Chains A and B, each alone.
Chain A
Amino acid sequence: DAGITQSPRHKVTETGTPVTLRCHQTENHRYMYWYRQDPGHGLRLIHYSYGVKDTDKGEVSDGYSVSRSKTEDFLLTLESATSSQTSVYFCATGQETQYFGPGTRLLVL
């Protein structure tokens, strides 16, 4: 699997606070993705990036923004966290085949 790390691995925050999750890859993949995983829904794409400063929305992008200033880093920001954003967030990289990071478990109280 690609060298993918995510930070933090666990976070508890309060409703209304901003939260930024980081994904870091060492494989120089052009494509990077953010998914959320919820029971009964599988994984759903939030945003993806096809290069530095090139991003686009996925299936469930409302309430999230992303940035990619370097090839290796892809940031996911919850501008004002809500309880519905409590989830496990996975980053993935790769083009034809996607490889996943270890995930970030986020709890919004």
Chain B
Amino acid sequence: AQSVSQHNHHVILSEAASLELGCNYSYGGTVNLFWYVQYPGQHLQLLLKYFSGDPLVKGIKGFEAEFIKSKFSFNLRKPSVQWSDTAEYFCAVNPPITGANNLFFGTGTRLTVIP
């Protein structure tokens, strides 16, 4: 079955450490890619998105992601995490399915940043 995979379920880092969260998808064709963040008790907020063009996308709060088409990947990175980055991170894909702009989500990665 086609899917979105986030292999890291829970990541624990110390402040100032670098972060990379993996996201792989199995849909063929042109896809739109997203990373959302959910802070404890809050709704999902858009971090960044990729539709086309430069495969290195910069988002809010110092996050960036790189689209590698050959690897079907869209990994999220941040050079130096802060305690306030503690949250759950979701990768989402809008595959080339006709009829709607439906998003398919990964299962999420919980990030805990230790002060």
A and B associate: yes
Residues of A bordering B, CB below 8 Å: 1, 31, 33, 40-45, 48, 50, 56, 58-59, 90, 92, 94-103
Q: Which residues of A contact B44 (CB under 8 A)?
A: 43, 90, 100
Q: Are B100 and A42 in contact (CB under 8 A)?
A: no
Give the contacting residue for A101; candidates B4, B32, B43, B103; CB below 8 A. B43
Closest A residue to B102 by beta carbon equals A45
Q: Are B45 and A48 in contact (CB under 8 A)?
A: no
Q: Which residues of B contact A59 (CB under 8 A)?
A: 104
Q: Are B100 and A56 in contact (CB under 8 A)?
A: yes
Q: Are B42 and A1 in contact (CB under 8 A)?
A: no
Closest A residue to B34 by beta carbon equals A97
Residues of B bordering A, CB below 8 Å: 4, 32, 34, 36, 42-46, 49, 51, 90, 92, 94, 99-108
**CA–CA, A48 and B45, complex, Å:** 19
Q: List 22 A-B contacts (CB under 8 A).
A: A1-B45, A1-B46, A31-B101, A42-B90, A42-B108, A43-B92, A43-B103, A45-B104, A48-B100, A48-B102, A50-B100, A90-B43, A96-B32, A96-B51, A96-B101, A97-B34, A98-B101, A98-B103, A100-B43, A100-B44, A100-B45, A101-B43
6 cross-chain pairs, A with B, having the tightest CB-CB distances, nearest first: A42-B105, A100-B44, A43-B105, A42-B107, A100-B43, A102-B43
Q: Known contacts A31-B100, A45-B102, A96-B94; can you find 14 more A-B pairs with CB under 8 A?
A: A1-B45, A42-B108, A43-B44, A43-B90, A43-B105, A44-B105, A45-B103, A50-B100, A90-B44, A94-B101, A97-B49, A98-B103, A102-B43, A103-B43
Q: Which residues of A contact B49 (CB under 8 A)?
A: 97
